[in-house]
Structure 1
Amino acid sequence: MSEGAGHLSPVADGPWAGWLSWKDTAPGTFLDAIGTSYSRSDAPGEATVMLATRPSHANRLGALHGGFLASFADHACFAALGAMGRPEQAEAITIDLNMQYCGSGGIGPDLRAEVELLRETGRLMFMRLTIWQEDVLVAASSATVRKASAPK
């Protein structure tokens, strides 16, 4: 992992001022396909992750591709953990990710993932999130994440 990975920093200006974003966007990785996300935590164990939609996120019908939504759900879990003050978990591993597609999202409006850390054990974190576009529920997801090993 490159230096700065997993470390969110505040956005200083623009529409996302006050939100957090990764310093290292990992150019050349799958994260390029997702785009830059912005996150914040307003309550313990809860965070919001925002992402702009773009034409490369669409399927043949012009709606948001289900694979993209699943990728965003996975990404949002880690962005949320960083916003919750757990940046060391950027190296955690997704054990399972379940998706329920609830509606059709489109290109243009931002996506909003509302993420909740439901439970944490010694090695696992259980998370749930909903993905919204404006006020329309697009998808819901649950994930189990195996925590990153402690540095030796």
Structure 2
Amino acid sequence: MTEIREEEGWKPLKAGGFMAGIGPLHARRRQDGGFTYALETGEAHANALGLVHGGVITGLVDQAIALVAWHAAGRAPVVTVQIDTRFAASAKPGARLEAKANVRHVAGSLVFLDAEVCEGERTVALATAVMKIARKGGPDDRQ
């Protein structure tokens, strides 16, 4: 396992909740101004086959998507409406998984995004998602 280090630009995030249970989560600013989110995996992330559990990968990509949508929504709360994850390869415990997400389109209170989870140069998963901007007090709050 390679250690995520602050001198390489990684900063720990206090994501809390579910991510605190599988994290810690780290972030690093990319040259294009976006962020990459990283998770160091270990034996606790393994499934019965000894590979990183798909739920861990999906949890990482969902968190990355939510953070990017949150920024796109002017830091308003967002909730996942839909996420489609396609697994391209497996990862073994000890892998550093890095997730990147990009906004494809914003329409009213919906944010459409694409994301990728990689181990180094190898794509582990691809995802598309729809996030809802959850402004408090609206008739369709999902809180």
TM-score (norm 1): 0.74
Query: In the TM superposition, what is the alpha-carbon distance from 1:54 to its structure 2 partner?
Result: 1.7
- Closer, same or farther: CA 124–85 of 1 in aligned 2, 3 Å: closer
1:134 pairs with 2:120: yes
1:96 matched to 2:82? The reply is yes
Instruction: Report if the CA contact (8 A) 1:49-1:79 is conserved.
Output: no
Q: Is the 8 A contact 2:117 2:123 kept in 1?
A: yes
Deviations 1:15-61 (A, max 9, x none): 13444443x443xx3223320212224325x4311111121111111
Equivalent residue runs for 1:3-152 within 5 Å:
15-17=5-7, 18-22=9-13, 24-26=14-16, 29-39=17-27, 40-43=29-32, 46-81=34-69, 84=71, 88-89=75-76, 91-149=77-135
For this pair of structures, how many residues does the alignment match? Answer: 133
Quick one: structure 1 residues 70 and 64, their matched pair in 2 at CA, closer, same or farther if it must change by over 3 Å?
same
Aligned CA-pair RMSD: 2.5
Q: What percent identity do the matched residue pairs reach? A: 23
Point out where structure 2 has 5 or more consecutive residues left out of the alignment. 139-143
Please list every run of 5 or more consecutive structure 1 residues that lacks an aligned counterpart in the other structure: 1-13
Query: TM-score, normalised to structure 2's length?
Result: 0.78
